[in-house]
Amino acid sequence: MVYKNKFIKINPYSRPGIKLNGVRKLVLHYTANHGATAENHFSYFNNLKGRYASAHIFVDKNEALCIVPLNEITYQANDGTFRGVPELRPNANFLSIGVEMCQERDGSIHSNTISRTEDVFVELCKKYKLDPIKDIVRHYDITRKNCPAPWVADGKKFTDFKNRVKAKLNGKPTNSQTPSKPVASKPSTPSASTGGSVVDWMNANGMDSSFANRAKLADQYGIKNYKGTADQNVNLLNKLKNVAKKEPSKTQSKPVQTKPSAPKGDMKTTSIVTYLNSINANSSFSNRAKLYKQYGLKGVYLGTAKQNLDLLAKMRGGNAPTASKPKAPTFKVGSKVKIKSSAKKYATGENIPSSVKNKTYTIQQVKSDRVLLKEIYSWVKKTDVQ
Ligand SMILES: [Zn+2]
């Protein structure tokens, strides 16, 4: 490996411990910090307080250090509303890896630093199957921040850099005549914890990509004992894609007639498919999509767990299925919560400043005992929010 892992500790300011939603782009930065090495930046970000900043990999003329695991977010490229790279919407920090070139004392970037940074990008392009020409972007390209300044001033230097990464990736240190496709590299196994690209796909399609929802969908599509393994995720992704392909069905065949006012069939199941089968109705995706519309439900039917439960409730005459009734307060992605004034510490152990208490925040991610609050990028225990 061209970089060494030396991770800073989890903390709200530089390593919140939040999983990336995928890696769509690799972002090039420079540190704007004359004379500070990769090691210096490790120490700096390991002790950062009071401001949110970080990146994954720091490269100097002697070494490259990965200070935040590559499957976690860093605070590197989301400092404005401008998004020059649409694939990184809505938040570049959740969809990219940031690499910083360290500067010499005189502000220049050492040729060894540049060459080592090329090697880092070669490795990252292989690992995430990215194209150096299309998928390496400057911080500047995303937010218009003047970073890395020397290569914003001279865009050709950046183009040359990408071309050298491409040549190295293709194993051709000199100019290559072959088309720009990167050499097929060993497929990287999607990580079980993040769910790999099924999560990307679901996010891109506006679906809830939480483990719980993936598990429900997996069950619905006949994938047994969903644990989020690479195989299961690939399988699930294929099923979802198939379903999405069939979705814009223009056929005129009549949806099965079911009367909302006369509930019948299996009144216990929480699966719309089981329910439809129990009333001898067509449970195909396209029929469910028609029924969804017919029952006046909002939005495009994608077969999400929530949509299926809504449809099920409607078809049963408006009664929500029993299993979907929350026992205790449930926390959902997108809903608003307040941090209780009695709350003392974040789930990650740091003190909660009183300035953030009693204010409303949006839930971005949910885990068994904690929720991630979007506006403050912090994990808070469920018991500390209402
Ligand atoms: Zn930058």
With a cut of 60, say whether residue 195 has pLDDT above it.
no
Q: What are the b/e assignments for 219-239, b being 16+ CB within 10 Å? A: bbbebeebebbbebbebbbeb
The rounded Å distance from CA 206 to ligand 1 centre is 29
Q: If you average pLDDT over residues 319-325, what whole number do you get?
A: 38
Residue 97 and residue 20: Cα distance in Å, rounded? 9
- Collapse the DSSP code of 257 into the 3-class scheme (helix H, G, I; strand E, B; otherwise coil) and give the result: coil
The rounded Å distance from CA 31 to ligand 1 centre is 7
**Environment class of 104 (CB within 10 Å of its CB; exposed 0-12, middle 13-18, buried 19+):** middle
**Environment class of 52 (CB within 10 Å of its CB; exposed 0-12, middle 13-18, buried 19+):** middle
Where does the pLDDT of residue 241 fall: very low under 50, low under 70, confident under 90, or very high at 90 and above?
confident
The rounded Å distance from CA 1 to ligand 1 centre is 24
Residue 122 contacts residue 169 (beta carbons within 8 Å)? yes
Q: In 3D, which of 340, 326, 324 has the Cα closest to residue 383?
A: 340
Which residue type sits at 278?
S
The rounded Å distance from CA 29 to ligand 1 centre is 4
Q: In 3D, which of 379, 302, 386 has the Cα closest to residue 336?
A: 386
The rounded Å distance from CA 148 to ligand 1 centre is 6
The rounded Å distance from CA 378 to ligand 1 centre is 22
With a cut of 90, say whether residue 213 has pLDDT above it.
no
Greater confidence (182 vs 123) lies with: 123
Residue 95 contacts residue 87 (beta carbons within 8 Å)? yes
Q: If you average pLDDT over residues 34-63, what whole number do you get?
A: 96
Where does the pLDDT of residue 201 fall: very low under 50, low under 70, confident under 90, or very high at 90 and above?
low
The rounded Å distance from CA 13 to ligand 1 centre is 16
The rounded Å distance from CA 136 to ligand 1 centre is 13
Where does the pLDDT of residue 255 fall: very low under 50, low under 70, confident under 90, or very high at 90 and above?
very low
Where does the pLDDT of residue 174 fall: very low under 50, low under 70, confident under 90, or very high at 90 and above?
very low
Rounded to 10 deg, the angle between the 285-294 and 230-246 helix axes is 60
Query: Residue 363, Cα to own-chain centre: how many angstroms?
Result: 15
* pLDDT computed for residue 295 by the predictor: 83
Q: Maximum CA pair distance of the chain?
A: 79
The rounded Å distance from CA 45 to ligand 1 centre is 15
The rounded Å distance from CA 344 to ligand 1 centre is 34
Residue 329 and residue 349: Cα distance in Å, rounded? 23
The 10 Å Cβ neighbour count of residue 197 is: 16
Q: If you average pLDDT over residues 72-101, what whole number do you get?
A: 90
* pLDDT computed for residue 367 by the predictor: 84
Going by C-beta distance under 8 Å and a sequence separation of 6 or more, which residues neighbour residue 93? 73, 74, 75, 76, 77, 78
Which helix (H) or strand (E) segment holds residue 197: the answer is: helix 197-204
Where does the pLDDT of residue 192 fall: very low under 50, low under 70, confident under 90, or very high at 90 and above?
very low
Task: Please write the tens of the pLDDT for every residue from 287-310.
Answer: 888 888 888 888 777 787 788 888
The rounded Å distance from CA 150 to ligand 1 centre is 12
The rounded Å distance from CA 134 to ligand 1 centre is 18
Q: If you average pLDDT over residues 90-100, what whole number do you get?
A: 95
The rounded Å distance from CA 28 to ligand 1 centre is 7
Q: What CATH number is given for 4-169 in this structure? A: 3.40.80.10
The rounded Å distance from CA 140 to ligand 1 centre is 7
The winner for highest mean pLDDT among 76-90, 179-193, 325-339 is: 76-90
Domain ranges of the chain: 4-169, 192-246, 248-325, 336-384
Residue 262 and residue 317: Cα distance in Å, rounded? 7
In 80-176, where do the E strands start and end? 96-101, 136-138
* pLDDT computed for residue 137 by the predictor: 98
Task: Please write the tens of the pLDDT for every residue from 215-238.
Answer: 877 877 788 777 777 777 788 778
Rounded to 10 deg, the angle between the 197-204 and 211-220 helix axes is 90
Which residue type sits at 13?
Y
The rounded Å distance from CA 30 to ligand 1 centre is 6
The rounded Å distance from CA 32 to ligand 1 centre is 8
Residue 296 and residue 291: Cα distance in Å, rounded? 9
Residue 135 and residue 149: Cα distance in Å, rounded? 19
Q: 119-123, 147-151, 326-330: which has the minimum mean pLDDT?
A: 326-330
Where does the pLDDT of residue 329 fall: very low under 50, low under 70, confident under 90, or very high at 90 and above?
low
* pLDDT computed for residue 175 by the predictor: 40
